[in-house]
């Protein structure tokens, strides 16, 4: 596999950046996870907009235009001969001194990695996932906006560790108000009496690209959609639950905190939206 780093391609084993890079030292940088299907990159422009918005929010200037970066992403895919792939785009603050001051850094690094990914075992997409609510809450939006997709993912990792220790692959995170926010890497949706429900952006969540696609598909298919504050009670009593994310796509959830959701099997709305989503990714670039 070839990895792009700031103007050059390197073999995977030779792809390196400075140990003084503030992306490594302090998590100072931003990233995006993107998917390609059959050689078509799913919603690339939306991903790039979110990347550049994240960079702008932390005053990080990406040293190339969105159009130039899009061309590099396509070139990296082609060079690696990948059609169905996961794409990781990383922008670091660059190398600097041992200190927080970003003014003492130079040369932000733009990295593009393309590879295969399988986040969950295939049988979980058929039978459903079990999740658990964890004590690690989502970052307070006044401390670090969840809408910034930064390289500092320790908040999510600590929640993931709690889930693993509880025997689950994913964790449900609450916000500082005790409301449902999102999972460690995915947005959450509920189906209640035929209505699709998901936390709003001000619940302290990432504005997921797949999340937005699912909302669009549901509305187009005549499924009512509401973005409103949710509690664990809403999760426990929902008819259906599923998670969305670039890597996860759409995966059903059939149990939360030991409580069976709905019938304990993936529901009809979840299955319908999965069908619509996979039709969408094959036709859209």
For the chain, how many residues are written? 285
Q: How many CA atoms lie within 13 A of 212 on its CB side?
A: 11
Q: Is 194 exposed, middle or buried (0-12, 13-18, 19+ CB in 10 A)?
A: exposed
Task: Tell me phi and psi for residue 145, to 5 degrees.
Answer: -60, 125
CA distance 138 to 205: 8
208 token code pair: 């997921």
Q: Which of 272, 269, 278, 135 is nearest to 190 (CA)?
A: 269
Catalytic pick from 2, 40, 56, 149? 149
Annotated catalytic, 177?
Answer: no
| Residues with active-site annotation | 149
């Amino acid at each position: 596999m070839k990895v792009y780093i700031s103007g050059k391609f390197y073999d995977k084993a030779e792809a390196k950046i400075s140990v003084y890079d503030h992306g490594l030292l302090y998590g100072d940088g931003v990233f995006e996870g993107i998917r390609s299907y059959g050689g078509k990159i799913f919603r690339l422009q939306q991903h790039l907009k979110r990347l550049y918005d994240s960079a702008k929010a932390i005053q990080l200037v990406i040293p190339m235009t969105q159009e130039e970066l899009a061309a590099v992403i396509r070139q990296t895919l082609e060079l690696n001969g990948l059609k169905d792939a996961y794409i990781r785009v990383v922008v670091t603050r660059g190398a600097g001194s041992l200190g927080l001051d970003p003014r003492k850094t130079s040369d932000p690094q733009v990295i593009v990695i393309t590879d295969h990914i399988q986040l969950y075992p295939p049988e979980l997409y058929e039978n459903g996932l079990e999740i658990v609510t964890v004590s690690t809450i989502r970052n307070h939006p006044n401390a670090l906006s969840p809408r910034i997709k930064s390289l500092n993912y320790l908040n999510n990792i600590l929640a993931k560790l709690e889930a693993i220790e509880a025997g689950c692959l994913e964790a449900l995170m609450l916000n500082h108000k005790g409301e449902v926010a999102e999972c460690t890497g995915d947005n959450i949706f509920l189906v209640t009496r035929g209505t699709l429900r998901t936390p709003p952006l001000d619940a302290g969540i990432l504005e997921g690209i797949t999340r937005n696609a699912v909302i669009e598909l549901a509305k187009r298919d005549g499924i009512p959609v509401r973005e409103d504050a949710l509690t664990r009670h809403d999760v426990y009593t929902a008819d259906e639950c599923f998670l969305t994310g670039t890597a996860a796509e759409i995966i059903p959830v059939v149990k939360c905190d030991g409580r069976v959701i709905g019938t304990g099997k993936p529901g009809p709305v979840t299955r319908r939206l999965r069908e619509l989503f996979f039709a969408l990714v094959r036709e859209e670039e």
